[in-house]
């Protein structure tokens, strides 16, 4: 299969008569130092901040811009966290190994928005009124969950660099599996912030419940026996595909 995509340099005669080897467009794309997935990821990650800043400048952030910014940064943080979590299961299902290289950037973007979200909450929303904040965090369980999710993300962000992989060795992997707890806690924080009752599935709970379901699926797909099942399923589908396309007569044998 890979033969189809080998780099091809085709001899090409210019008007002047010289012969050069002309690179194909696909070739040129492959030589760039970044991939389309990388571009898409960075654009998506920054888009929300750009839109928020644009909204602030053009007064397009609703009549309550502080709350609008708080909600949007929080929502984008959880979206990025879920995307980061989705990389491994998608690689299992699709075999696209580049996804595994994007997990770190997505996670760091998630905490970037989480930090903005916390700053907006602490400063813009509550004006650094520490007494009030302490009272709020202690009394309001959904803010406590949000704080827990954020605090769990901090060590992950700090140790996300390669030098830490060497320092921590085996423990690095165990530490980063904390994200399996962080994502559901963040989803619960979201679910309890909206108006409604997530425990009775009434009210404005569609978005956080959807996130919860997706997170649950992404965690389930990591269970070893399920992961092996889908990986082997993928291999079998690819095998059947190549067999029917390229060697149809092989079916009559065996």
Partner 1 sequence: MSDTYKSVPVLPSEITPKSLYFNRRGFLRAAGLLTGGALLAACAPGGGGSQPTGDPATVAAYTGRKDELGNPLNSYDDITNYNNYYEFSTAKDAVNPLSKDFKSHPWSVEVSGLVSNPKTFAIEDLIKMFPQEDRIYRLRCVEAWSMVIPWQGFPLASLLKAVQPTSAAKYVRFTTLEDTKQFPAEGDTADYPWPYHEGLRLDEAMNDLAILATGLYGSPLPNPDGAPIRLVVPWKYGFKGIKAIVKIELVADQPTTFWQDINAHEYGFYANVNPDVPHPRWLQSSERRIGELGMRPTLMFNGYADKVAYLYQGMDLKANY
Least separation in angstroms between residue 140's CB and partner 1 is 6
If the CB atoms of residues 87 and 205 are measured against partner 1, the closer one turns out to be: 205
If the CB atoms of residues 98 and 197 are measured against partner 1, the closer one turns out to be: 197
Least separation in angstroms between residue 168's CB and partner 1 is 38
Give CA separation, 253 vs 41, 77, 92, 219, in Å. Answer: 46, 54, 31, 41
If the CB atoms of residues 13 and 60 are measured against partner 1, the closer one turns out to be: 60
27-42 b/e (C-beta count within 10 Å ≥ 16 → b): eeeeeeeeeeeeeebe
The binding site for partner 1 (CB under 8 A) comprises: 47, 50-51, 54-55, 57-64, 66-67, 124-127, 129, 132, 135-136, 139-142, 192-193, 195-197, 200-206
If the CB atoms of residues 75 and 165 are measured against partner 1, the closer one turns out to be: 75
HSE-up of residue 160 (Cα within 13 Å, Cβ side): 20
If the CB atoms of residues 23 and 49 are measured against partner 1, the closer one turns out to be: 49
Least separation in angstroms between residue 153's CB and partner 1 is 22
Give the span between the Cα atoms of 172 and 164, in whole angstroms: 7
Least separation in angstroms between residue 124's CB and partner 1 is 8
| Residues 193-198: contacts with CB under 8 Å, at least 24 apart | 193/74, 193/142
Least separation in angstroms between residue 86's CB and partner 1 is 23
What tokens were used for 70? 């708080």
Task: Dump strand ranges (E) for the chain.
Answer: 9-13, 19-23, 196-197, 202-203
């Amino acid at each position: 299969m890979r033969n189809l995509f080998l780099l091809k340099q085709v001899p090409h005669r210019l008007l002047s008569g010289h012969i050069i080897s002309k690179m194909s467009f696909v070739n040129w794309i492959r030589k760039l130092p970044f991939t389309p997935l990388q571009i898409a990821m960075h654009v998506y990650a920054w888009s929300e901040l750009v839109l928020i800043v644009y909204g602030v400048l053009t007064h397009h952030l609703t009549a309550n811009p502080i709350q609008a910014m708080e909600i949007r940064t929080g929502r984008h943080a959880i979206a990025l966290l879920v995307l980061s979590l989705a990389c491994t299961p998608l690689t299992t299902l699709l075999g696209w190994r580049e996804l595994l290289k994007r997990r770190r950037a997505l996670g760091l973007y998630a905490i970037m928005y989480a930090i903005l979200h916390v700053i907006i909450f602490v400063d813009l929303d509550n004006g650094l009124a520490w007494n009030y904040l302490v009272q709020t965090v202690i009394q309001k369980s959904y803010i406590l969950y949000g704080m827990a999710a954020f605090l769990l993300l901090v060590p992950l962000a700090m140790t996300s660099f390669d030098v830490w992989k060497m320092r921590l060795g085996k423990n690095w992997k165990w530490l980063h599996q904390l994200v399996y707890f962080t994502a559901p806690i963040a989803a619960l924080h979201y679910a309890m912030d909206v108006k409604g009752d997530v425990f009775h599935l009434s009210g404005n709970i569609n978005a956080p419940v959807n996130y919860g379901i997706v997170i649950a699926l992404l965690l389930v797909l990591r269970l070893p026996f399920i992961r092996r099942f889908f990986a082997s399923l993928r291999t079998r589908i690819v095998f059947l595909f190549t067999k029917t396309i390229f060697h149809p007569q092989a079916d009559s044998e065996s």
